[in-house]
Chains A and B, each alone.
Chain A
Amino acid sequence: MSLTAFATLLERLAFTPQRLGKERLLADAFTRMPDPERGLMLAALTGDLKLRQVTPSLLRGLTEMRADAQLFSYSYDFVGDLAETIALIWPEGTRTDPPLSEVVHELATAPKTRLPALITARLDSLGPSERYAYLKLATGALRVGVSARLARTAFAAWANLPLPQVEEIWHALQPPYLDLFAWASGSPRPEAAARAPFRPVMLSTPTDLDQLSALDPADFAAEWKWDGIRIQAVSDGGTRRLYSRTGEDISTAFPDVVDLMAFDGTLDGELLVRRDDEIASFADLQQRLNRKTVTPAMLRSHPAGLRLYDVLIWNGQDLRDEPYDARRAVLAQAVATLNPRIDLSPDLPFATWDDLAALRLNPPAAVIEGVMIKRRDSPYLAGRMKGPWFKWKRDPHLIDAVLMYAQRGHGKRSGYYSDFTFGVWNGDDLVPVGKAYFGFTDAELKDLDRFVRTNTIERFGVVRSVARTKVVEVAFEGLNRSSRHKSGVAMRFPRINRIRDDKPAVEADHLSTLQAMLTN
């Protein structure tokens, strides 16, 4: 498959609205394309083609050698997608059509110092839609309207294989997936050759009291929803791995946890920073994330541990088809043999949904963000299906804030003013306390966009300062102290809950309200 064919496929996938239509396009590509191209194409769509050396800032730098930096910035602001902006703004040159495998290979193997010259030469010799496809490949963020799961589903349907079996071995496979395609054409199923493989995780759907009232509480168990990172801890014949719920191996960032994993099995739980009996806030855990190495000082000040929810495999026995209650019984026994820094997420006793509602309203720790509700007879299933597991999150915090600045959005919001900075009163001044770019409905987005366009009082490059008249209700999950923000606070997961056109700006909240929440 040539890069042009890949670019055409991306284009058709992006503009085909129906799921079935996308699956048809992919099936057609799997049939027509040879190895290893089709495997590379699949890996590109599932995000498993790791060409992470190519950063947005590198690409920006290269583009600014070919186009005026300011015109580039205006263009990016308008287009809303970096790869597309560069593809469109890059000067036209000669057009070649290299094989997909050739460009992937050179991006994967080129030393970092040679990348700038390599990428520039490629961009100089491609047409605009090939430049787009090339840049999407290079940055690894395809965003073409096909999720990793949809790509795997399309593969399974095309190969006439059960999707759970494909999902099961997925994380042990490597692009270009020659063994996977061989399986599709009749060869035996590839063994999950690697030790300590990741198993697809079971996920929950949101619920509320209304929905729950239709269910019998006796059929369900409940536990706290801990605000850490959902993980899968696998120890298999001496190989230990800690995975995020998407299957990313995060072992190297948490050597202290890996040290504790003296067992043989696959466990499901929450990664938390724990100081003695106290579970630290998510902000503390954040300090430990995304680090290639972790210092001894950090290990001492931010020690991590696990709180377990479930067991998938124990001492060689696959328990996933067992009911939840039976798995929990195994888990309770297993935990007793482990270091106390790995413990069990306790069961919550309740007889009625109102009992559980009362518990949810008064959690014993700030690091709890609601309750999980799990059907006692449910097997451990891959994916997010409605019915067996529910999450009932605590209500968000709400404040009324005044819109201060706006920027155009990216991706599907491009062209709309959809990134908002809002503030609260501090004396007679408004001080910015956060940014939000979702939460609103499409109709509310149009209203906000129109407000920004007609109430701009000043422009700073791509940022518009707006008249301080629009009040929005902001919902957020938590508040941290911050030295980086002028207000001294940073919100977690802020979003615009609704527009408060009924409220004049003077009646918006004051900074003191937020400061009071910090001390709680």
Chain B
Amino acid sequence: MARPPLLIPRPEGLYCPGGDFFIDPARPVARALITHGHSDHARPGHGAVMATRETLDIMAIRYGEDFTRSRHIADGAITIGGVTVSFHPAGHILGSAQIAVTGGGCRIVVSGDYARVPTPTCARFEPVPCDIFVTEATFALPVFRHPPPETEIARLLASVAAFPDRSHLIGAYALGKAQRLIAALRQAGWDAPIYIHGALHQLCDYHVAQGINLGDLRPATEGKKADFAGTIVIAPPSAFATAWAQRFPDPVIGFASGWMQVRARARQRGVELPLILSDHVDWPALTATITELDPAEVWITHGREDALMRWCEMTQRAARPLHLVGYEDDAE
């Protein structure tokens, strides 16, 4: 009799029969292994959760201490039922991990979301040799070649210098992207205070508590309108449509995202200063990672599966789309 497969896609998410757990399930399950704290991967209400210490902390910050009945910090190789699991840095956001599942002579690495561009905000992606590599495909089109973050930060700083009377309001998702942006500004030598929206406070504080230098951060509610001239303000993009944005003088609206490489996307959002700053692999990094790992098979979770399938076909790699539901297509 054939052995059951190590992992199988189910409506709830990717399931491991040997260990009776799900990875990043979209619905509440008895036992979940979580790659990272973004809400489409880390949901509240699971019976037990295993993740990195940082991811567990982040889930507690976002969902409250009772987000699960039982937390397990992933540390080293852990045996669950008949399989062994281990967590390895994914380079995506603080605490993000790839999950390696080994059993019956086969190893599958579920990479979650991952990035290869280094950032002070999290550990670098660690290539883990495997038989099956499960990858995202968020930016899996050859048009996505993201420029180095330094050039994008330089564009932002040039704009700040060109419009000293205006404030720069930069949209960035609260977990990961905002801190990546702040850290990159600090690396570029911008040591003035950076003003942040209330939705960013707790998560920024948590990064600082983990020893990540974000410099002088101040609440964007402090001060009069004129005080914000020449400043950089960071907020979740949803804040721009609200009255909150009216407190700033003639703001230049920016958005930090890998999607900003496509002009129409930037214009649809009414963005004046699109900043191509991503925490996912772009096309060259994605294809280079698969080439480097050279797995026997590639499984694709979400994004532009068609194009990555085509590339695998061209490079004679076995590949399959998992058609998992629940992962956000466009959030980045």
List the interface of chain A (C-beta within 8 A of B).
Answer: 14-17, 67-68, 70-72, 74-75, 78-81, 84-85, 88-89, 92, 128, 145, 411-415
Contact A145 B143 (CB under 8 A): no
| Given known A81-B263, A415-B268, contact A70–B310 (CB-CB < 8 A) | yes
Contact A15 B271 (CB under 8 A): yes
Query: Most chain-A Cβ atoms within 10 A of its Cβ — which of B263, B268, B307, B311?
Result: B263
Contact A16 B272 (CB under 8 A): yes
B273 beta carbon closer than 8 Å to chain A: yes
Residue of A nearest to B264 (CB): A414
Contact B145 A74 (CB under 8 A): no
Selected contact of A79 from candidates B262, B268, B274, B330, CB within 8 Å = B262
Contact B264 A89 (CB under 8 A): no
Interface of A is mostly: helix
Complex interface: chain B residues within 8 A of A78 (CB): 141, 143, 262, 304
Report the separation of the CA atoms of residues A14 and B273 in the bound assembly, to the nearest whole angstrom.
Answer: 10
Which 8 A-B pairs rank lowest in CB-CB distance, beginning with the nearest? A88-B143, A414-B264, A74-B307, A75-B143, A75-B141, A89-B142, A89-B143, A70-B310
B53 beta carbon closer than 8 Å to chain A: no
Contact A17 B264 (CB under 8 A): no
Report the separation of the CA atoms of residues A88 and B144 in the bound assembly, to the nearest whole angstrom.
Answer: 7
Min CB–CB distance A32 → chain B (angstroms): 15
Residue of B nearest to A74 (CB): B307
Complex interface: chain B residues within 8 A of A80 (CB): 262, 264
Contact A415 B264 (CB under 8 A): yes
Report the separation of the CA atoms of residues A15 and B266 in the bound assembly, to the nearest whole angstrom.
Answer: 8
Contact A145 B310 (CB under 8 A): no
Report the separation of the CA atoms of residues A415 and B265 in the bound assembly, to the nearest whole angstrom.
Answer: 8
Selected contact of B270 from candidates A17, A72, A85, CB within 8 Å = A17
Complex interface: chain B residues within 8 A of A413 (CB): 264
| Given known A14-B267, A79-B262, contact A71–B272 (CB-CB < 8 A) | no
A-B contact count (CB 8 A): 69
Complex interface: chain B residues within 8 A of A16 (CB): 272
Contact A74 B267 (CB under 8 A): no
List the interface of chain B (C-beta within 8 A of A).
Answer: 141-145, 261-268, 270-274, 304, 306-307, 310-311, 314, 330
Complex interface: chain B residues within 8 A of A14 (CB): 263, 267
Min CB–CB distance B304 → chain A (angstroms): 7
Contact A84 B267 (CB under 8 A): no
Selected contact of B304 from candidates A67, A74, A85, A414, CB within 8 Å = A74
Residue of A nearest to B273 (CB): A15
| Given known A15-B267, A84-B262, A412-B267, contact A74–B141 (CB-CB < 8 A) | yes
Contact A71 B262 (CB under 8 A): no
Residue of A nearest to B143 (CB): A88
Selected contact of A85 from candidates B143, B272, B311, B314, CB within 8 Å = B143
Complex interface: chain A residues within 8 A of B266 (CB): 15
Show 23 residue pairs from A and B whose CB-CB distance is below 8 angstroms, ordered by the A residue: A14-B267, A15-B267, A15-B274, A68-B314, A72-B142, A74-B141, A74-B310, A75-B142, A75-B143, A75-B307, A78-B304, A79-B143, A84-B262, A84-B263, A85-B143, A88-B143, A88-B144, A89-B143, A145-B267, A412-B268, A413-B264, A414-B268, A415-B262
Report the separation of the CA atoms of residues A16 and B143 in the bound assembly, to the nearest whole angstrom.
Answer: 24
Residue of B nearest to A72 (CB): B142
Report the separation of the CA atoms of residues A453 and B268 in the bound assembly, to the nearest whole angstrom.
Answer: 19
Complex interface: chain B residues within 8 A of A70 (CB): 310
Selected contact of A414 from candidates B262, B272, B311, CB within 8 Å = B262
Contact B262 A67 (CB under 8 A): no
| Given known A80-B264, A81-B263, A411-B264, contact A71–B271 (CB-CB < 8 A) | no
Residue of A nearest to B259 (CB): A415
Complex interface: chain A residues within 8 A of B272 (CB): 15-17
Report the separation of the CA atoms of residues A412 and B306 in the bound assembly, to the nearest whole angstrom.
Answer: 23
Contact B142 A67 (CB under 8 A): yes
Contact A71 B142 (CB under 8 A): yes
Report the separation of the CA atoms of residues A17 and B314 in the bound assembly, to the nearest whole angstrom.
Answer: 42
Report the separation of the CA atoms of residues A79 and B307 in the bound assembly, to the nearest whole angstrom.
Answer: 13
Contact B264 A74 (CB under 8 A): no
Selected contact of A74 from candidates B262, B306, B314, CB within 8 Å = B306
Min CB–CB distance A183 → chain B (angstroms): 32
Complex interface: chain B residues within 8 A of A67 (CB): 142
Report the separation of the CA atoms of residues A75 and B262 in the bound assembly, to the nearest whole angstrom.
Answer: 11
Min CB–CB distance A24 → chain B (angstroms): 12
Residue of A nearest to B145 (CB): A88
Min CB–CB distance B156 → chain A (angstroms): 13
Min CB–CB distance A325 → chain B (angstroms): 46
Report the separation of the CA atoms of residues A75 and B306 in the bound assembly, to the nearest whole angstrom.
Answer: 10
Min CB–CB distance A267 → chain B (angstroms): 41
Report the separation of the CA atoms of residues A79 and B145 in the bound assembly, to the nearest whole angstrom.
Answer: 13
Report the separation of the CA atoms of residues A291 and B118 in the bound assembly, to the nearest whole angstrom.
Answer: 58
Min CB–CB distance B157 → chain A (angstroms): 16
Min CB–CB distance A25 → chain B (angstroms): 12
Residue of A nearest to B330 (CB): A415
Report the separation of the CA atoms of residues A161 and B10 in the bound assembly, to the nearest whole angstrom.
Answer: 69
Complex interface: chain B residues within 8 A of A412 (CB): 264, 267-268
Query: Most chain-A Cβ atoms within 10 A of its Cβ — which of B264, B266, B314, B330?
Result: B264
Residue of A nearest to B268 (CB): A412
Complex interface: chain A residues within 8 A of B306 (CB): 74
Min CB–CB distance A436 → chain B (angstroms): 20
Report the separation of the CA atoms of residues A251 and B310 in the bound assembly, to the nearest whole angstrom.
Answer: 49
Min CB–CB distance A108 → chain B (angstroms): 26
Min CB–CB distance A28 → chain B (angstroms): 12
Min CB–CB distance A481 → chain B (angstroms): 37
Contact B264 A71 (CB under 8 A): no
Min CB–CB distance A90 → chain B (angstroms): 10
Query: Most chain-B Cβ atoms within 10 A of its Cβ — which of A16, A72, A75, A128?
Result: A75
Report the separation of the CA atoms of residues A64 and B92 in the bound assembly, to the nearest whole angstrom.
Answer: 33
Contact B267 A71 (CB under 8 A): no
| Given known A15-B273, A71-B310, contact A414–B143 (CB-CB < 8 A) | no
* 14 other A-B residue contacts (CB within 8 Å) besides A71-B310, A413-B264: A14-B267, A15-B267, A70-B310, A71-B142, A74-B304, A75-B307, A78-B141, A79-B143, A84-B263, A84-B264, A128-B145, A411-B264, A412-B268, A414-B265
Complex interface: chain A residues within 8 A of B268 (CB): 412, 414-415
Complex interface: chain B residues within 8 A of A88 (CB): 142-145, 261
